[in-house]
Structure 1
């Protein structure tokens, strides 16, 4: 299916992503920020704030789809302050009209809940955490978005999406018309995606500059750690010929779904897997040849062969 692709960048996405990671602890064991990041932030928050965030961990995870939809429909000139102001005090019916472009099933009650439950917490998050990193992170995000926009004018859409996301492959039959690529720092090294009505939002990870050039780069460490267990090498060998679904993996490896999801996430985070999306509900996995090539490249670069 033909679709258009655009690159979108705003610190609003990064605000929402960092807030989501902290609040839900989603993928935290596979993210570079890690649990130490959680602990550091815990210490900077008041007891009341910590309690409020703890309660928000039980909110529906699908709520974040609504928040990202509002970010997609933000005013072109909106900064974080204006976005949060609109979320907290804007007309709920107007907010619903924006979200319904992406999620037709969203209701007015959903929008009122966004205003009462999420707007105050996002304001605390901005004040206590994100404001201190907003400027340098915005620069890195904008630089990467400009680079990807330039590539978009030179490359076909499919290889660009796979390159940016580190392995996400959109099959021809995928029923979407619009692809939105958004660079993300807090989600590194994981790519995440969200299906909307006729659209797919992909947040792809970008690395921050290495502080010490004498230390092994994080991309090399991800690769070597991912390959440190025989079980993962077995998986890569199994996935070398053609894409396999989770059901096929469970059937052929005799591993549990939970264990396979854990191992696949580690391989995926290292850039060693392609994730194929044939439809809105199915993922298939195959080896990513570029990831194997990158291992040699990063290793030779570090040891200076």
Structure 2
């Protein structure tokens, strides 16, 4: 499936958009995309980079189980963190003409010449290695092995959930502006319009939950967002209460939230005004952001430009508490 949502004028040109500081920029378009190939890459990325990505919903037991299913002679290759960049192959998946299955994508990638790969990447990537053909061949080898020993046995309901979630987000794309759609699916990331950014892809993913995996290229950004768990309304209320309460359970974190609530600010401003180490301030701001309490605003890179408060977290917390305390024993 492939659905595009784009703000356009009568002349099919991108509209001007005013950023938080009052400067005008051209808007960008958002595409909601889905393919099992994305999750193939994402799952291998989670395995390779698990220690750096923690905490994830998948646990150490998952790593141990996967290792046990892979021949020992391949383990070292799969654990090589130099392949951390592997997730950026999503840039090629977005351009694959037929990607209904993992095999569709891998067969296409095998047939694409190094010259064509260069042409497909050059509009978006500043530096492309001269040995792109060798890199492609090694990438293919790893992905085929990963599919053989792990991914082909992934429960089909996970892929069905990804497809269904993409369909739901595509409908939301008809109702929300691009910037609001991205904030909704990522639980608080705002991609501010900048002149060079023209295209953003939002793609559902499972293995790196609850993290968002994002990349910026020249003129393009990709966001692999975590799909929501299949829970009842009451279970969701429990999760929201726990997540928000844990994020708010530190006094210094509350002070960081209070300062951000006065006015959007960047990390340097937070550091200067909080009297805490920069790393500590960053830790607290990140914890608040991951809980969906504050927004992270990005402007043309993967570095947070500034933070702002998401007032919706207050109603989310109170509604959750009301559901479990005022429901008079009703289950849902």
**How far, CA to CA, are the matches of 1:199 and 1:215 in structure 2?**
33
1:239 corresponding residue in structure 2: 260
Taking a change above 3 Å as real, the CA distance of residues 269 and 302 of structure 1, as seen in their structure-2 partners, is farther
- What is the aligned counterpart of 2:311 among 289, 292, 305? 289
Q: Secondary structure at the match of 2:82?
A: coil
1:187 corresponding residue in structure 2: 208
- The reply on whether 1:175 has 2:223 as its aligned counterpart is no
1:106 corresponding residue in structure 2: 128
- What is the aligned counterpart of 1:19 among 38, 44, 52? 44
Deviations 1:100-121 (A, max 9, x none): 23214213413421322x2222
1:4 corresponding residue in structure 2: 29
**How far, CA to CA, are the matches of 1:58 and 1:73 in structure 2?**
24
Give the structure with the larger helix fraction.
Answer: 1
**How far, CA to CA, are the matches of 1:134 and 1:252 in structure 2?**
49
CA contact (8 A) 1:166 1:191 kept: no
CA RMSD between the two structures: 2.6
Q: Secondary structure at the match of 1:75?
A: coil
In the TM superposition, residue 48 of structure 1 has moved relative to its aligned partner by 1.9
- The reply on whether 1:201 has 2:222 as its aligned counterpart is yes
Deviations 1:219-251 (A, max 9, x none): 433222222222322221121122221222222
- The reply on whether 1:35 has 2:71 as its aligned counterpart is no
- What is the aligned counterpart of 2:171 among 134, 150, 156? 150
Taking a change above 3 Å as real, the CA distance of residues 243 and 90 of structure 1, as seen in their structure-2 partners, is same
CA contact (8 A) 2:202 2:224 kept: yes
In the TM superposition, residue 134 of structure 1 has moved relative to its aligned partner by 5.5
In the TM superposition, residue 88 of structure 1 has moved relative to its aligned partner by 4.5
Taking a change above 3 Å as real, the CA distance of residues 281 and 203 of structure 1, as seen in their structure-2 partners, is closer
Q: Secondary structure at the match of 1:244?
A: coil
**How far, CA to CA, are the matches of 2:211 and 2:47 in structure 1?**
15
**How far, CA to CA, are the matches of 1:85 and 1:202 in structure 2?**
25
CA contact (8 A) 2:37 2:99 kept: no
Q: Secondary structure at the match of 2:224?
A: strand
Name which of structure 1's ranges 282-291 and 28-37 shifts more when overlaid on structure 2: 28-37
CA contact (8 A) 1:222 1:269 kept: no
Deviations 1:192-236 (A, max 9, x none): 321122111122221121389679743433222222222322221
CA contact (8 A) 1:30 1:266 kept: no
- What is the aligned counterpart of 1:52 among 63, 71, 77? 77
**How far, CA to CA, are the matches of 2:302 and 2:185 in structure 1?**
22
CA contact (8 A) 1:29 1:35 kept: no
**How far, CA to CA, are the matches of 1:87 and 1:256 in structure 2?**
47
TM-score, with length taken from structure 1? 0.87
**Structure 1 segments unaligned to the other structure (5+ residues):** none
Name which of structure 1's ranges 295-304 and 231-240 shifts more when overlaid on structure 2: 295-304
Tell me which structure has the larger Cα radius of gyration: 2
- What is the aligned counterpart of 1:94 among 116, 119, 131? 116
**How far, CA to CA, are the matches of 1:102 and 1:195 in structure 2?**
9
TM-score, with length taken from structure 2? 0.80
CA contact (8 A) 2:203 2:224 kept: yes
2:287 corresponding residue in structure 1: 266
What is the number of residues matched between the two proteins? 301
In the TM superposition, residue 20 of structure 1 has moved relative to its aligned partner by 0.9
